[in-house]
Chain A
Amino acid sequence: MLSSDVYRTAGSTSVIVSLPNRARVSLLAAAICALFGSTAIADDDLFRDRVAPLLERRCLSCHNARDAKGDLSLTTAAGLMEAGYVVAGDPAGSHLLDVVTPVDGRASMPKDGDPLTADEIDLLRQWIAKGAAWPADKRLELPSVSSRDWWSLKPLPSQLSTIPEDTHPVDHFLNAELARRGLTALPAADAITRLRRLTYDLTGLPPTLTEIDTFVAADKADPARAWEELVDRLLASPTFGEKWGQHWLDVARYAETHGYDKDKLRPNAWPYRDYVIRSLNDDKPYNRFVQEQVAGDALFPGDPDGVLGLGFLAAGPWDFIGHVEVGEQKLDGRLAKHLDRDEMVSAVFNVFLSTTVQCAQCHHHKFDPIRMEDYYRLHAVLAAVDRADRVYAGLSGEQEQRRLELVEAIRLLEIEEGKLKKQQQDRIAAKTGPLDRRLDELMRQHAAPLRPEYGYHSAISPTQDVAKWVQLDLGKARPIQEVRLHPCFDHFNNIGAGFGFPVRYRIEGSNDPQFAQNVVLLNDASSSDQPNPGTEAQSFAVTAPPLRYLRITATRLAPRQNDYIFALAEIEAIGGEDGGNVASGNAITSLDSIEAHPRWSRKNLTDGIYHQELSDAAAMAEYRSLSRQRAAVVAELQSPELEQQLQSLGQRLTAARAEFSQLPAGKLIYAATTSFQRSGNFVATDGRSREIHLLNRGDLKSPGDVMFPGTPPLWETAAASTTQKSLSDLEARATLACYLTDHDNPLVWRSIVNRVWSWTFGHGLVETPNDFGRMGQTPSHPELLDHLAVRLRDDPRQSLKSLIRLLVTSEAYQRSAAHHAYNAAIDANNTYRWRADRRRLSAEEFRDSLLAISGRLRLEDRSGPSFQDFVIEKPEHSPHYEYGLFDPANPSAHRRTIYRFVVRSQPQPFLTTLDCADPSISVPRRDESTTALQALAQWNNRLVEVMVREFSNQVREEGDPIGTAWRLATGRAPSDDDRRALVDYSARHGLENACRVILNLNEFVYID
């Protein structure tokens, strides 16, 4: 034990500790401390102001009351005392200084970080020398932030700010800021530019020629009305949801494979994509949209959308190996599960609240008021759910329950069956050991290759007692002395030797091919079950007049795999003058046959090929003899009791499978769920939440207190919401959903209006849409942001379309994208919206436009399973997604890009080059990079080549093919110079090549 002394003086404790072998030092230290005691009060300030912050910053995260690594806690003076690292007044004798003082640039503490600076070490030395004063009331705390004094956490105004009549609210705020900064707003863009901009922004597609003409005419007549009607038309179009759904899928990190190792498919992920598109097209109230995606099943039971929305929680990557192969019994499996929950928790807060809760995993959030406890309470909220297929329609709740029960029952029965069979095998193996070793040895020494021509195979029968026959035609009546039947060999279902050899059968001869008359019975083995002969030929002597036809009729078939067959490798008929095989090469007929060349065919019966396991005759003889002995031992070990058990199990299995097959399958979605079919070690919780601990330093091996569901106190009225009791899964998620959409929640409304702004204007009022914390950006127009947020919050319909309508009807949205040197000198980035931002087509817009203007876009092929523009190789283990093998002319893929099957591990190369979103992370805004690889893709890609050809066919018959093509791509007619250059080029190289150039124009790729 450690020895320690404490010297108390006014409100302060001096620490004197030492290791046992330093007992003398300790006494000495006590004396020194007594001397320095009088200065300790002044030294309290040294500790409070300088030492404590240093210890908190550099030491406390590993050495605190909750998580005392190396049995050292620095939370209180007592903790430090017990550990014996400091001898007050004696820096040289204080072990603390030894461990933090670097030698050759390295110190043993802090373990994972840079050494303390010389000044910091000096400070500690000074503090110790002065008596190591530690005020008794001072507890060290891990750094955390509690202040909500930050723009995004401040309450929203209780009601809408007043805007002057006849002023557009958006322009009201923007114009005020422009004026303040001496910026001049640019005038509105021309009609075609505005049409093209709005059509792409709201639908992701180019306007058609008719739409252009109609709008230009309407704009001339009544510009304001024309614009309003255009906005209404586009918002009402089903293509709106397809464009805006992509925005949402980007932030929702949606894909249709798991990612990680093996990257298996999620065939039932797509209903979430359709749900998102439909919700946006239906203008679902935003709060409802949020609630469905976190707790739809709890809040809206019976409504399919309540389940479909939960596709959000499951949309991100999932570690198949960690869950299915490793499982939560092992640390690695629990780690996978922890990361999985972290992914969900992060998604919920990044997406709905623009808050980075995940920063509080290893320590309290360094900048925002989120403590580790808050973060782990959110783990507790999601502690019961996993990602798996669940039913959203087509199956009642009871049916779904029954379905899962049956799956589990079947699984258990199969395990039981396997166990019994194993028991039996073990009993047999115990007796047949020496025989088996010799058999193995013979096999090793003499194994013969298995030739591909196995023999004849009847059709498969569900029942055993069915007659099936094969018949040999010798061409003419011949004298026969002997008939030999050679059994088959096939590894199928581990059967091997004697595969398909009938249990009961008879051999007959006749000269009537119908076997209607004069039938001679040559051998009758049909009255009792025959032992399986392995590959040993079955030979039967014949005394009969010459015969032309031989028929072998199986009357009880051989078992295969829950079904029955008749198979034979070879028929030999020994006879004639020289006693040879007269059957060789002769014709065979049969009741039925599976003709699967070369393996199975009637003609294999007379091809002279039959398998013998061993190539050496003597060895084969021994092998057979031993096999017979073995069979006898096995027969002796047959236990009628066990047989009965197996039979009974078999019956129960058959019944369970039958009931299962009667239940409707239901429509499935890959979503968050607590009940699903077990897969390996991946087992449903059935709603029982996993126990969640706070993890010190985020380390599963350092669990702290058990955590109960709760939500971070990010605003005043949310502060009291943490609970200290467990909640059911549904209660916990419902509570979270209500917290997210709380009227007083200042983040949720600011977050979504900023996203809508960003998806409309190109960049957000806050440039970090997923982070409104202190590490994020501040809003360029805080009052405008709040105005829009309040408007949405207080809108009884919580309509996103109405918000979008408001934004795009502003003057700001309709401005020209032109350059303006004076403005640019003040605000080059257009933060204050003096002009519109020119933007490039997104990857999806480029591809969709390519298909649309080429006349190949199957626009009406909406919803449903995704199209795959790749070929899957090796699907059984780790699927290879081979894009290069897919024919780009295949119309199955000529749907809008949002309907494509999104693969995580092997993303679509063409779209990825064009800055498509990475589905492993929440992407609030696409990159817009410009690279040589993009030029190569747009110039050379096979899809472009195919569409260029279609595009040229589309315009070839027009009076002005070049002009039409140009208009289709850019919305406007080419200049005379441009037209002339292209017409020239087209004359030399053909219209296709001219169209290829047009599809690479900046004017096509950029939207003004």
Chain B
Amino acid sequence: MFDASPLSRRGFMSHASMGIAGIALADLFRREGLLANSALPQGLHHPPRARRVIQLFMAGAASAVDLFDHKPLLTKKHGEPWDPGEQVELFQSTPGACLKSPWTFRPYGESGKELSDVVAPLGTVVDDIAFIHNVVGKTGVHSQGTLLQTTGFNMPGFPSCGSWISYGLGSETENLPAFVVLPDHRGLASNGAKNWSSAFLPAEHQGTVIRPGQAEPIADLRPPASSFITADSDHDGLDLLSRLNRRYAEERSGDDRLSARIRSYELAAAMQLSATEALDLAQEPRYIHDLYGLAPEGPGVDDTTINEKAETEFFGRKCLVARRLLERGVRFVQIWSGNDNGFPRRNWDSHEDVHRDHGPLAAGMARGTGALIADLKQRGLLDDTLILWTTEFGRMPCSQGSQGRDHNPFVFTNWLCGGGVRGGVYGESDEWGFKPLDRDHPTQVYDIHATVLHQLGIDHTKLTLRHNGIDRRLTDVHGHVLHDLLL
């Protein structure tokens, strides 16, 4: 039933014999072993092309036809009634007229791939990006669409992609969590923390939220303001605690949890140092700040009205922090652009006005992402860092109101970059950007996830954990590795 590779053996142990606590502990010690000999991680299904992943998530549903997927027909037919030749059922509205993008598209790079002016900063790295313009979703409901992209299922209760990867590969460092989430500081997207939940995987694989630029970037990282806690009391206290706990453990041999908990305080202390250091952007030179478009006034930049400068600061800062975290051994970073569906709008759900919201958000995203790709490349990290750009679905080629677009779960764009991926266009949408050009062969999130795992050295059909009678996996019972876009 299980093959002999460690990945599935772990799945077996966790439900059969050792129990969940045993697994967490096993991981703790395995990591120590792993750090000691820095050879390839044992037990992968095949040699990996990537060691770490960044998932860029555009919450609210970013419009492919306004960013990456040029549709000249929309310009030609702008304002004319839209007739795709079949019945269309939209989330909020009835289909309006054809709506051209508010931005012009131009060719970039050697490939001549066309990008919208609003994402022009990606032009310099466009040849490294593998665009998949024929991704299809299941529904036009934000929460379901978001969960589908983050967990592979359109209902809550399933582990995030980052949790599966943390579970499968463990961490490259003990001093930082394996799976880090950088949410939009203005609020969480649909489903909140469910998007980085470990669900039925051991809890240590849930995403750890880091809020760069905030007073307390990681919960409880430092002692709170207190009338009695001092640096000395803290230091001596941990020292004493360790001695007392050790004595207790000595009287109770044969229980590794006790020593693991002693060790967890040492790791916590190490994490205080590493996390603080990793998040200290003052260590980065001026030109790097400029590359990522950070604002001189920092995270406090004014965004009373949505604007490009602020969006660039917010997204760029997260990208730069992500790079520093990855350099320090974090396995999976999830970056969010856009919050919940409150008003005024600070996400990609442009029902009313594509130009108003997509403009600043896309410009900020493109600047930060372009910088991230270029920066990873110049450090030699792009080769084994996989970037996945995604969103819950796309937006319609027709208008909602006069300047907005309704949801389009029928086709949208994902792209991959780095980590053994070859640039180009794989999978096209139809002339409207309404459905896949080849409706019988769309790309699904399972294929994307299978490809991500594949690049990490994992066979997506073999990374499983039995839960309520089913050997669960990230890709459910689906998924094909997108071999065409691999180097």
| Chain A contact residues, CB within 8 Å of chain B | 105-106, 108, 111-112, 114, 259-263, 317, 319, 321-322, 325-326, 330-332, 335-336, 339, 343, 350, 356, 359, 367-368, 763, 767-768, 770-771, 773-777, 817-821, 824, 829, 838, 840, 874, 877-878, 880, 884, 904-907, 909-910, 912-913, 915, 918, 920-922, 927-937, 939-942, 945, 948-949, 975, 977-978, 981-982, 985, 988-990, 992-993, 996-997, 1000-1003, 1005-1006, 1008
Contact = CB atoms under 8 A, between A and B. Distances in A.
User: Among B236, B241, B270, which residue has the most Cβ atoms of chain A within 10 A?
Assistant: B241
B203 A927 contact: yes
A356 B191 contact: no
B224 A933 contact: no
Given A262-B340, A874-B342, A927 B240 contact: no
> What are the nearest 7 A-B pairs in CB distance?
A905-B192, A819-B254, A878-B340, A260-B143, A261-B143, A932-B267, A928-B21
Interface string B310-326: 00000000000000000
Given A335-B139, A920-B156, 6 more contacts: A317-B156, A319-B141, A838-B257, A904-B194, A927-B24, A931-B24
A696 to B, nearest CB: 16
A4 B33 CA distance: 67
A356 B240 contact: no
A263 B190 CA distance: 8
Contacts of A942: 224
B268 A932 contact: yes
B413 interface: no
B142 interface: yes
A910 B224 CA distance: 14
A335 B138 contact: yes
Contact of A978 (B156, B208, B244): B244
A930 B261 contact: yes
Nearest to A948: B228
Contact of B468 (A325, A771, A1005): A771
B144 interface: yes
A905 B342 CA distance: 15
Contact of B156 (A114, A259, A325, A335): A259
B24 A929 contact: yes
A773 B238 CA distance: 47
Given A877-B343, A993-B233, A997-B240, A821 B254 contact: yes
Contact of B244 (A821, A913, A927, A997): A997
B228 A993 contact: yes
Contacts of A922: 468
Contact of A906 (B17, B192, B218, B243): B192
Contacts of B341: 261-262, 877-878
Contacts of B156: 259-260, 317, 904, 920-921
A317 B202 CA distance: 21
Interface hub of A260, A330, A820, A992 (most chain B Cβ within 10 A): A260
Of A829, A906, A935, the most chain B CB neighbours within 10 A belong to: A935
A602 to B, nearest CB: 33
Given A261-B143, A877-B340, A940-B223, A945 B188 contact: no
Contacts of A949: 227-228
A501 B384 CA distance: 72
A880 B268 contact: no
Interface residues of B, number: 97
A339 B154 contact: yes
Contacts of B224: 940-942, 945
Interface string B164-205: 000000000010010000000001101111100101101110
B317 to A, nearest CB: 20
Contact of B264 (A105, A368, A930): A930
Contacts of A931: 24, 203-204, 264
Contact of B265 (A325, A356, A904, A939): A939
12 contacts: A112-B478, A260-B144, A768-B469, A821-B254, A877-B342, A878-B340, A904-B192, A928-B21, A937-B219, A939-B238, A978-B244, A1002-B248
Nearest to A838: B255
A992 B220 CA distance: 18
Contact of A777 (B16, B193, B200, B221): B16
A263 B192 contact: yes
Contacts of A945: 223-224, 226, 229
B213 to A, nearest CB: 15
Contacts of A948: 228
A231 B471 CA distance: 40
Contacts of A1005: 261
Contact of A905 (B177, B194, B245, B264): B194
A353 to B, nearest CB: 12
Contacts of A912: 193, 203, 206
A146 to B, nearest CB: 18
Nearest to B230: A989
A123 to B, nearest CB: 23
Contacts of B17: 829
Contacts of B271: 932, 936
B266 to A, nearest CB: 8
B140 interface: yes
A746 B228 CA distance: 59
Interface string B290-323: 0000000000000000000000000000000000
A504 to B, nearest CB: 41
A356 B468 contact: yes
A933 B177 contact: yes
Contact of B18 (A829, A874, A977, A1001): A829
B19 interface: yes
Contacts of B28: 930
A775 B241 contact: no
B468 A819 contact: no
Contact of B262 (A262, A920, A934, A1002): A1002
Contact of B229 (A880, A913, A915, A993): A993
A932 B483 CA distance: 38
A252 to B, nearest CB: 14
B143 A321 contact: yes
A817 B204 CA distance: 26
B188 A905 contact: yes
A261 B141 contact: yes
Contacts of B286: none
B469 A339 contact: no
Given A262-B341, A819-B254, A936 B220 contact: yes
Contact of B155 (A325, A339, A817, A1002): A339
Given A261-B190, A909-B219, A326 B229 contact: no
A904 B139 CA distance: 22
B15 interface: yes
B268 A935 contact: yes
B267 A935 contact: yes
Given A112-B478, A878-B342, A260 B191 contact: yes
B197 to A, nearest CB: 6
B486 interface: no
B470 interface: yes
A831 to B, nearest CB: 8
B280 interface: no
B249 interface: yes
A1001 B245 contact: yes
Contacts of A910: 219-220
B253 interface: yes
Contacts of B226: 945
